Structure 1
Amino acid sequence: MTSPHTSPISGKVVYRRLLSYVWPYRYAFMLAILGNILYGVIDAGITKLLQPLLNQGFVDHDVTFIHWIPFVVIGIFILRGVATFLSTFFMGWVGRNVVMNFRQEMFAHMMRLPTSYYDHTSSGEILSKIIYNVEQVADASSDALTVLVRESCTAIGLIVVMLSISWRLTLLFIITVPLMAIIMSGVSKRMRAVSARIQASMGNVTHVAEEAIEGQKVIKAFGGQAYETEQFKQATQNNRRQEMKLIATSATSIPMIQVIGSVALAITVYLATLNPEHVLRTAITPGAFAAMMAAMIMLLKPIKQLTKVNSNIQKGIAGAASIFAFLDEKPEVDTGTQIIPSVQGNMAFRQVSFSYAASEGQKTLSNISFEVKAGETIAIVGRSGAGKSTIASLLPRFYEAQGEILIDGVNVKTMPLSHLRKQIAVVSQQVTLFNDTVARNIAYGQDDATREQIIAAAESAYAMDFIEGLPEGLDTLIGDNGVRLSGGQRQRIAIARAILKKAPILVLDEATSALDTESERHIQAALDKLMASCTTLVIAHRLSTIENANRIMVIDQGRIAEMGTHEALMAKKGLYANLRLMQYNQVTATIPELELETN
C-alpha cells in the first residue's frame, strides 16, 4: 500500500539525503569509521604476521622474535578490542540518533499534513512507516553499515597483504572482482524492489491488525472473527512471500560469489604449488605462501558478509525512500499572516463550492452562500450525505474550498491556521479522547488552564456527577479513546473541553447524539448558556433540538434548498416540513412498542 502521491526516489538522492541526517553526528561517525578501518588493518596484519611467524619462528628459530610473539599477539587483540568498541558503539549511537530524528520529524510532519491525506492513507500504513520502515533504516545505518565498512577495510587490507607477497597471484584473484560486482549490482536492484514491496505489505498487516483492535466490539457483535482472521492471514502470507523472495535472492547470490572466489583460489593454489619460481618469477618462502593462502581464504569471509549484509542495506535504502516520500508530502497551506485582535464571531460563506478527491469531480457543495451575525445560532439540516458536516469542516480549513469564507470580514485563507482554529470550538458526533486523565482531556490544548477552570467546565457540562464517582476523579486514566467511559460520559467530556476553550465560534455536530434523555436535557441547558455567548453552527439530525435557532438552513444535494426560522419553514410546507414530519412519524411509531416492553 503506497500513497498515490508517492513518487519513486533514486538511490543517489536517497544516499545524499541520508548523509544530511548523519552530518550533525559526523565526529562520532568518523570515530566509528576509524574503528572499522583499524579493525580491518589489524585483521589483515594478523594474516601478514603468519609470514615472519613461520619463517623466523618455526624455520629459523629466532629466539628474540619468539620472545616478542606473546606481547605482539596480546597487543594486537587489545587494539582489535578498542577498534571493535569504537566501531560498534559510535556507529550504533549515530544510527539511533538518526532514527530518533527521523521519527520526530515524521511525527511533526504528520501533524501538519492536510486532512485529505488521511482520507486516502490508512493509519496502519503511516504507523508502519514510522515504526517498521525507520527500523530498517536503523539496521542499515548501524549494524549493516558497521559490517560494510569493517569488512570492506578487511578485504582491502588482505589484498594489500597479498600484493606485498606476490602481485601476480593477487592479480588472478582480482580479475574475478568485476564479475562479482556485476552479480552484486543485479542483486541490489532486485533486493531494493522486493524491500519496497515488503514495507508496503507490512503497512497492510498493520492496517488490518489496527482495524481489528479498534473494531473488536463490532467484529464480535456481527460475528466477523473468521473474516478478519482470513484478512490478516492473507496480509501476513503476502508479507511472508515478499520476505522469502528477499531471502531467496540473498541465499542465491552468496554461493555464486563464493564459488567465483573459490575458483580463483583454486587456480592460485595450483599454479603456486606447481612451480612457484617459474610461475611467480621469484622464490617464495613457506611463510609467504602460508600468508598468501590465509589471506585468500580469509578474503572469502568479507565477501560473504558483504553479500549477506547487502539485503539489510537495500531494505534500509527502500525504507529511507519511503520515509522521504512521506516527508515530501505537502503540508497544509498555512501562509496567512492576518491576525484579528478580538474576534466577534461574524461569519459569511460566499459562493463556496467543494468536492472530495474521491468524488471524481462531483461537487459535495455547490455555491453555498449565507451569513451569520455574532451571537446568532444557525442550524444546518438535511438528509445524510447532503453536505452538512462538510460545511463544518471547511470553516476551520480542514479542507480547502473554492469561494470565500469570512470571519469578521477577513478571509480565513489570510489567517494563520493556529489563529483561525483558536477561534473555533468543535464538538462532533465522533468524540475523540486520549489515553490520559479526565482533567487533561478536558484541558486539551489549554495548557494554562487551572484546576478550578477545569472543574467549572466539567460542572457546566454536567460531567462532575460521574467524574466524582471515578476511582481517582479528574485524575483517572480513561483508556484508549475513553474506552472506560460510556458514550454519554465521553460526549460530556468533549462538551466540557469546548466550554473551557471559550472560543467565539462554536460548531456542534450532533453534540448530544450519544446522550440519554435526562443527560441531554441537562446538557442542552449548558449548551444554551454557552451558545448565548458565541456564534454557533448546529448540525442536527434530530430536528426537535434546533427549533430555537435564529435560522435553519436546509441542505439538499450540496445546495441551500431552504432557509428561515422553524415557524416560517413549517408554514412553507417544503423540504424541512417533510423531514420534520418523517421524524415525528418515526418517533410516534415506536411508542406502542415501548409501551409493550414496559407492560
Structure 2
Amino acid sequence: MLKHYPLLRSLALYRFMPFRFVSTALLFILANLGIALQQFSIGRAIDTLKHGDPLSLFQHAWTSPLNPWFWFIGLSFLAVMRAIIQYFAGLSALMIGQQLLTILRQRIFQQVQNLDISWHWKHGLGEVLSRSTRDADKLKEALINFWRQVFESSLVVLVTVGLLSWYNLWLGLVPFFFILLGVGVLFKLTNHLVILDHKVAIAYEKVSDTLTESVAGVRVIKAFRLEQKLLQRFNQAIVQFIQHSTHAVAMSACRLPIPQMIIACAYVWVIAFGAYLIGQQQLQIGEFIAAILMANLLVFRIESIGQVLHIFADARSSAARIWQMLDEKTKIVDGWEQAVQHKTAINIKLDNVSVISTETKKYILKNCHAEFRADEIVTIVGKTGSGKTTLMNLLNRFIDPTEGRVLIGSDDDGWMDIKSLQLTTLRKIVQIIPQESFFFSGTLAENLKVAKQNATEQEMLEALHLASASELIQRLEQGLSTIIGDKGVTLSGGQKQRVALARAIMNHSPILALDDSTSALDATTERHVLQRLTQQSAASLKKVLIINSNKPTTIAMSNRILVLKQGQIIAQGTHEELMDSCEFYGELMGFNRPEHATFSRNLATPKGIAVQGIMS
C-alpha cells in the first residue's frame, strides 16, 4: 500500500521502535497542549484582572485568581514545564530519527551485498554511493524536520483550531479552511519539486561517477595524459549539477509566497472576525488576545513548513531512489541443501546450458555440454567475447543459466542441481579467482584470512608457498603484517595474482576455477603453481582445476581443452586431438599451416613436461 509513497515507507520504519515512537509523540502532544493552556490562561488572566480594583489586587491571597501573582506563578510554571518537555521531545526526536536512518543505511548496505553480480554490472559505483550518502543524508534532514515541521505543526493546528472553535465555531473553522487550502498548494509544489530534484540527483550521480573513475583509473589517466580531459568532463558534470540545483531552488523561491499568502489570510480572519465578535459582545478582550496569539503561532508554524518545502521534496525523491534499490529482488535465490553427497570426488558439469543477454536478447552461451572431472586440468579457450568468463560465473552462481542446468556430484554418488545448494556451501566448494583480484586496505594476513578467519601463520605461509609467493614474504619488511594498501596498490600484478591464489588455496575448495588469473605470471612460476595446486588435497578430495586462458604454456599442461566459439562449445579434447580435428582451434593457437601443425603436436611445457604428464 505504501509502495507509491516512499517517504511514508521510510517513516513506517518507526514501527520497529514502538516505545520510542510513542514516547516521542506523547512528549510533543504534552508540549503543544502546554502552549494552548498558556495562551488560554493569558486570556483568562486579562479578563479576570480587568474587573478588579487596581489598588486592591495584591491584597488578595496569592492563591486567588484576583491576585496577579497567581497568574504570574501559574504562567511561569507552565512555561518552565513546557520548556523541559519541549527539550526532551526535541532530543528524543533527534535520537529516534538517527536510529531510523541507521536502520535504512544498514538495509542499504545489506541489500548491496545481497544483490547478484548482474545488478552490480548494470549499476555504477557512483550510483550506489550516491544512494548511500547523498540520498540518505537528504532523508535524514527530512526526518529531523518531521517532528518539528509536520508532527508538531499538526498538533499546533489541532489545538489552535480547537481553542478558537471553543470561543466561536466560525472563528476556528475559517482559519482551518485557509490552512487546508495553503497546505494543498504546498503539496502541489512539492510534487513538481520532486521531479526537479530527481534531475538534480542524476546530475549528482554523474559527478560522483566521474570522481570515482578519476581516482580508480588514475594510472590510465596519467599514462595517456588525460588529466585535462577528465577535468573538463568533471567541470561539465559540476555545471550541469549546479544548473539543475539552481532551477529547483529558484522554482521553490518563486512559488512559495503563494501558499504563504493563503495561510496568512487565517490570521487576518481571526483579527477581523474577533473584533466583530467583541463589538457584538460575544468575545472578551482576553479571549481575543489569546485568539490572536494562537493564530500568530499557527501562521508562523505553518509558514515554516513552506520554508523547508525543498527539504521534503528532496527527501521524497531520495526516498524513492533508496526504496527502488531496496525493492530490487536478487535473481540468485539461496538453495536448501547444506552439503553434496560424495565419497571420493566432486565433479561439476553443464547440462545443455544457455545464457541469454537481458539487454540484447542474444545468446551469450548456447547449448553447452561439458563435464569437469576431479584430478584433471581443463582449459577453456576462445576468442575475446566468446563467453569464457560467463561460463566460469555459472559454476558458483554469480549468474544462473537462462536454459539448462549446472550439476554437481558424480556418477557414483548422483548429481544435483547447484540451485538446490545453499550459496555458502556452493561457494565453499567452487572457488573462482578473477583476473583482477580485489584486496582490502589492510595487512597481508588480514586479506588472506578472508578465506579462513582463524587461519594460523603456518597455514598462511603454506598457502603462499603453494602459490609460489614465498619470496614475497621475504621482500616485505613486516611479513604478513605488512599493509598492502587499498586494492593491493603496493603489489605488482603478478604478486596480486599469487596472493589471490594463496587466498583461494586456504579455502580448500575441491573445484578451483582460474579466470585468466595467471596471466601476469611467467611460464615457470605458472607451471609451479599449477603443479602444486593439482597435488594439493582438499578435504581428501581430488581437485578439479578449470582455467580460462589462451596461453600455450597453460594449454600444454592441460588434460583436456574446451573450445568456445561464439558462445558454443564446438570441440573438446587434448591439444593434439584438437589440432587434428578442429580448424578453429588451430587458427586460435596461430598454427594454421601444416608445418606449424606438426610443430604444435610437440608442444610441451617448459623443461619437457608433456601434456599428459602433469597429472601422473
TM-score normalized by structure 2? Answer: 0.85
| One-letter code aligned to 1:568 | E
- The answer as to 2:203 corresponding to 1:201 is yes
SS in 1 for 2:547: strand
Q: Give 1:364 deviation, angstroms.
A: 1.5
Structure 1 residues 429 and 168, CA gap change in structure 2 (3 angstroms)? closer
Whichever residue aligns with residue 250 of structure 1, its letter is S
Distance 1:373 1:272 in 2: 93
Counterpart-to-counterpart distance in 1, 2:535 and 2:297: 83
- Distance in 1 (alpha carbons) for counterparts of 2:177 and 2:405: 71
1:558 CA drift (Å): 1.5
Q: Take 2:101 and 2:576, find their aligned partners in 1: how far apart are those partners?
A: 62
- 8 Å Cα contact 1:468-1:474 kept in structure 2: no
Name the residue aligned to 2:498. Answer: 492
Alpha-carbon shift at residue 54 of structure 1 (Å):
4.0
Residues 547-562 of structure 1: matches in 2 within 5 Å? 547-562=556-571
Alignment match, 1:3? none
Determine whether 1:535 maps to 2:544: yes
Map 1:567-578; keep pairs closer than 5 Å. 567-572=576-581, 574-578=583-587
Q: Structure 2: which 5+ residue stretches go unaligned?
A: 410-414, 597-616
Query: Conserved in 1, the CA contact under 8 Å of 2:365 and 2:568?
Result: yes
* Alignment partner, residue 183 of structure 1: 185
Contact kept? 2:345, 2:542, Cα under 8 Å: no
Q: Quick check: 1:95–1:141 contact (8 Å CA) kept in 2? A: yes
Provide the C-alpha distance between the structure 2 equivalents of 1:344 and 1:337, rounded to a whole number of angstroms: 18
Moved more, 566-575 or 412-421: 566-575
Report the Cα distance in structure 2 between the residues aligned to 1:373 and 1:284, rounded to whole angstroms: 96
Give per-residue Cα distances to partners, 1:246-280, cap 9 Å, x unaligned. 4334334542233223344345535555x6544xx
Residue 36 of structure 1: aligned partner: 28
Assess, with a 3 A threshold, how the Cα gap between structure 1 residues 364 and 74 changes in structure 2: closer, same or farther.
Answer: same
Correspondence list, 1:239-388, <5 A: 239-266=241-268, 268-270=270-272, 272-273=274-275, 277-278=278-279, 281-282=280-281, 284-331=283-330, 332-337=332-337, 339-342=339-342, 344-358=345-359, 360-388=360-388
1:56-455 superposed matches below 5 A: 56=48, 60=52, 61=54, 62-63=57-58, 64=62, 65-266=67-268, 268-270=270-272, 272-273=274-275, 277-278=278-279, 281-282=280-281, 284-331=283-330, 332-337=332-337, 339-342=339-342, 344-358=345-359, 360-401=360-401, 402-408=403-409, 409-455=415-461
24-33 or 553-562: bigger deviation? 553-562
Partner SS for 2:137: helix
- Does the CA-based 8 Å contact 1:435-1:478 persist in structure 2? yes
Structure 2 SS opposite 1:352: strand
Amino acid at match of 2:188: G
Moved more, 338-347 or 127-136: 338-347
Q: Deviations over 1:90-142 (max 9, x none)?
A: 22222222222222222222222222111211122122222222333322233
- Between 1:232-241 and 1:86-95, the stretch displaced more is 232-241
> Residue 23 of structure 1 corresponds to which residue in structure 2?
15
Following the alignment from structure 1 to structure 2, what is the Cα–Cα distance between the partners of residues 236 and 329? Answer: 29
- Contact 1:257/1:303 (8 A) holds in 2: no
Q: Which whole-Å CA distance do the structure 1 matches of 2:234 and 2:31 have between them?
A: 46
- 1:357 counterpart SS class: coil
CA contact (8 A) 1:204 1:235 kept: yes
Distance of 1:69 and 1:481 partners within structure 2: 71
Q: How far is 1:19 from its partner?
A: 5.0
Task: Determine if contact 2:346/2:510 at 8 Å carries over to the other structure.
Answer: yes
CA contact (8 A) 2:375 2:542 kept: yes
Q: CA deviation at 1:171?
A: 4.3
Structure 1 400/283 Cα, relative in aligned 2: closer, same or farther at 3 Å?
A: closer
SS of the aligned residue for 1:445 comes to coil
**Of the candidates 535, 553, 557, which is equivalent to residue 544 of structure 1?**
553
Report the secondary structure of 2:351's partner residue. Answer: strand
List 4+ stretches of structure 1 deviating above 6 A. Answer: 582-585
Asked if residue 10 in structure 1 is aligned to residue 9 in structure 2, the reply is no
Q: Distance in 2 between matches of 1:407 and 1:430?
A: 27
Please identify, of 251-260 and 414-423, the stretch whose mean Cα deviation from structure 2 is larger.
Answer: 251-260
Displacement of 1:504 in angstroms is: 0.8
* Kept in 1: contact 2:278–2:285 (CA 8 A): no
- Please tell me whether the aligned partners of residues 42 and 80 of structure 1 are also in contact (alpha carbons under 8 angstroms): yes
CA distance in 2, matches of 1:292, 1:102: 42
Which stretch of structure 1 is more off in the superposition, 427-436 or 145-154?
145-154
SS of alignment partner, residue 590 of structure 2: helix
For residue 513 of structure 1, the aligned residue among 519, 539, 559 is 519
Distance in 2, matches of 1:334 and 1:132, equals: 32
CA distance in 2, matches of 1:236, 1:295: 46
Cα displacement (A) at 1:438 = 0.9
- Number of residue-to-residue matches in the alignment: 572
Once the two structures are overlaid, the 10-residue window that deviates more, 217-226 or 462-471, is 462-471
Q: CA 1:297–1:317 in 2, change beyond 3 Å: closer, same or farther?
A: same
Assess if the C-alpha contact under 8 Å between 1:352 and 1:365 holds in 2. yes
Deviates more, 1:566-575 or 1:542-551: 566-575
Q: State which of 485, 504, 509 in structure 1 corresponds to 2:510.
A: 504
CA contact (8 A) 1:35 1:84 kept: yes
* Deviation of 1:499 (Å): 1.3
CA distance in 1, matches of 2:240, 2:22: 40
Tell me if structure 2 keeps the 8 A contact 1:144–1:312: no
SS of 2:133's equivalent? helix
CA RMSD across the alignment: 2.9
Describe the shift of the 1:52–1:471 C-alpha distance in structure 2 as closer, same or farther (beyond 3 A).
farther
CA contact (8 A) 2:7 2:315 kept: no
Paired with 2:302 and 2:522, the residues of 1 have a C-alpha distance of 71
- For residue 590 of structure 2, the aligned residue among 561, 578, 581 is 581
Flag the structure with more relative contact order, 1 or 2, with Cα contacts below 8 A and sequence separation at least 6: 1
Match of 1:464 in 2: 470
Distance 2:407 2:436 in 1: 26
Q: CA 1:469–1:57 in structure 2 vs 1: closer, same or farther (change >3 Å)? A: farther
Shift in Å at residue 174 of structure 1? 3.3
Question: How far does residue 537 in structure 1 lie from its aligned partner after superposition?
Answer: 0.9
Conservation of the 8 A alpha-carbon contact between 2:348 and 2:407: yes
Deviation at 1:69, TM superposition (A): 4.4
* 1:176–1:261 contact (8 Å) kept in structure 2: yes
Alpha-carbon shift at residue 186 of structure 1 (Å): 1.0
Q: Contact 2:563 / 2:570 at 8 angstroms: preserved in 1?
A: yes
Which 5+ residue runs of structure 1 have no aligned equivalent? 1-7, 586-599
SS of alignment partner, residue 361 of structure 1: coil
